[in-house]
Structure formats: C-alpha cells, structure tokens
Amino acid sequence: MSRGEPPPPTLPQAPARSGWLGFLPVSALEDNLRNINLETEEAQEVDEEDDELVFTFDDLPLVFSCPRHWQADPAVDMIMQTWRMRERMKTVSVALVICLNVGVDPPDVTKTQPCARQECWVDPLSLNPQRALETIGGNLQRQYERWQPRARYRQSLDPTVEEVRRLATGLRRSAREERVLFHYNGHGVPRPTANGEIWVFNRSYTQYIPLSIYDLQSWMGSPSIYVYDCNNAGIIVDSFKNFAEQHEREYVEQVRAGGPQAGAAELPPPPSLRNCIQLAACSKDQLLPMNPDLPADLFTACLTTPIKVALRWFVMKNDLGHLAPQIKLEHLEKIPGQFGD
C-alpha cells in the first residue's frame, strides 16, 4: 500500500455469541431444545411402560385403503412379467389406411367452429380434395419413416373393403412371421359401431361401408400393431379382444372336427391376441380433441412427431415467453432445420 492511500475497508467482526439465531434468541432456543429432550425421554419411558401407546407404520394413513387392499387373498399368485420382449421382432410392413373424404364431415359428429383441421400438419381445406389427400398420405409415410426407415409402406387413401383386404393380405404374405403395422385414420367416416366395425367407402364415395374387425384380424394375422386414430376408438379395442377369442374358439372346433377337408390347405393358426399391440386415440365413450390450435390427428402427431407437438403444447400452456420472449404458435413453423436433426 503506497503512502497517502486510505486503508482498505474491513468487515466488522462477528460477536463470539450472537443474541439471536434467526428470529429466536439463543437462550430461548436452548430452552426449547432442553424441553424437546425431556419430552423425548418421557415418551420413551411411556413406550416402555405401556406397549399400547407405541405407534407403528400400520397406524399411518394409507393411500390404498380400500377393503381389497387390507384383505390378503392366498389364492392370488403373483406372476412377475417384464415389458421387454424376449425375442427381437421387426416391423417390416406398414399399411396406412386414411379415410378422410376431404370436404365432407361424417354425419354423427357435430364439430365446433372453429375446430381442429390439420392432418399430418396439413390443412386439407387449403388444397383441392384429391391433392390434399395425397399430401396427407405422403406426410404420414414420411413421419413413420423417421422411426422405421426400412419398412415397406403401402398407402390406401379413402379405400373400399376390397382394397383394404388386398392390402392387408399382401403385406402379411410378404412379412411372413414378422410384424405388420396397420394405421387407421377415420376422421372422415362415422364412429366405430358397437358390433365391432369400422367404416370405409364404396367405389363412388356415395356410401359408408362397414368393415368388420373380425375380417381385419383374419387378413392381418399376427404379430401385428394396430393404431386407431378415430372417435370412440376404445370400441375397436374391446371388439378386437372379443373377435380374437372367437377366432380361437372356431380354430379349436375345427381341429376337433378333424381339421381341413381332404385336399384343402392346412388350417392357419388363429391370430394371437398376445402378439398384437393396439394403440387407440381415445376410449369407447370419448371424442377426439377439437381445439383449433391442435392438429386433428393429435394422437398420430404425438406418436410420429413428438417434438413438434411438445413445443406447441408448451407454448399454449406457457404464453408468458418461457420458451423465448414473445414466442407464438405461428413462430414454431419458422424454426429452421428439421425436427429429426
């Protein structure tokens, strides 16, 4: 330090014993600690003298407190299963069945105005119907190709029952024992029926034609993955299980009856429900979301473009600039690069 400069400031020394600790004087704090120790010793003496006052974990409130959680059932055997499959299986074929009939809404669903319109991030009303349908089909295929680029893809746009049959049987024949994925977009047709039917079209697009899940199971075989993006999709899941059990019963009856007739081919095994995975957009009594800020195929978008959906959802729920200052939904379309980068 040179001569003439003022000395550096020094911090005041803390007292050896402060009269306050937080908001409590040290003397009061020591008295409280002494009282706690006395209460603890008294509690221990009481516990030793009277065992009935001892508290255990059984006395704590339980989240699972229904009668079935308290009663032990010795007849129930716990079977531990892992979600990982023992054998690796590839999805080698993908059927994209899209029933939109652009410009014509199904008669059994009253949509809000405005409502969700985008299909595969394309507004169908911004193009002519045929061009919009082809663009949506191409986008859906590219979205799946990000996850499985080596699979064989086949599109069926506004198909008939016969076209779906040829598509499903052809993919199963080429896939052999590998998995086939069946994606169904039913936004342009009525809801699934209680009899287990989804809807397609006739050749002139003047009528809705029902397609039974029972027949679809026969064409698709197993193993398979089904994606149902439509209203009341849970109806299909319930019907699928019932029809799978019916297939198995019919197969057992045919085997007991002596198998196939003379000269006929060998009986194919019934579709195994355990080897089929079903992904449904909603339950049997629910409709798809109609928020105009979300895509109409929200379920498909979450499966195939999760980052894009996550960004949109975050901006919708946090409109205070948490992602970046003054970011709006329309700005998300201007993010450079690809979401798969």
- pLDDT tens, 201-245? 999 989 999 999 999 999 999 899 999 999 999 999 999 999 988
Place of tokens 């007739």: 261
pLDDT at 51 over 60: no
CA distance 242 to 214: 9
When pLDDT is cut at 50, 70 and 90, the band that residue 182 belongs to is very high
Q: What are phi and psi of 222, to 5 degrees?
A: -145, 155
pLDDT at 15: 46
Q: What are phi and psi of 32, to 5 degrees?
A: -65, -40
Any idea what DSSP says for residue 119?
A: B
When pLDDT is cut at 50, 70 and 90, the band that residue 22 belongs to is very low
CA distance 223 to 269: 12
φ/ψ region of 232 (left if φ > 0, alpha if ψ in -120 to 50, else beta) reads left
- Tokens at residue 35, please? 């009282």
CA distance 277 to 171: 17
φ/ψ region of 326 (left if φ > 0, alpha if ψ in -120 to 50, else beta) reads left
- Give kind and range of the element (H or E) at residue 165: helix 161-175
Name the residue among 85, 123, 127, 149 with its Cα closest to residue 304.
149
Neighbours of 119 (CB within 10 A): 27
pLDDT at 315: 80
Any idea what DSSP says for residue 33?
A: H
pLDDT at 61 over 60: no
Instruction: Identify the burial level of 234 via C-beta atoms within 10 angstroms of its C-beta, where 0-12 means exposed, 13-18 middle and 19 or more buried.
Output: middle
Q: Using an 8 Å Cβ cutoff, are 131 and 173 in contact?
A: no
Q: What is the mean pLDDT of residues 160-185?
A: 95
pLDDT at 251: 84
pLDDT tens digits, 100-135: 999 898 988 888 889 999 999 999 999 999 999 999
At 160 the three-state DSSP class reads coil
The full DSSP string for 276-298 is EEEEESS-TT------TTS-TTH
- Tokens at residue 199, please? 């809807």
pLDDT at 258: 74
Cβ neighbors of 255 (< 8 A, separation 6 or more) are 267
pLDDT at 317: 75
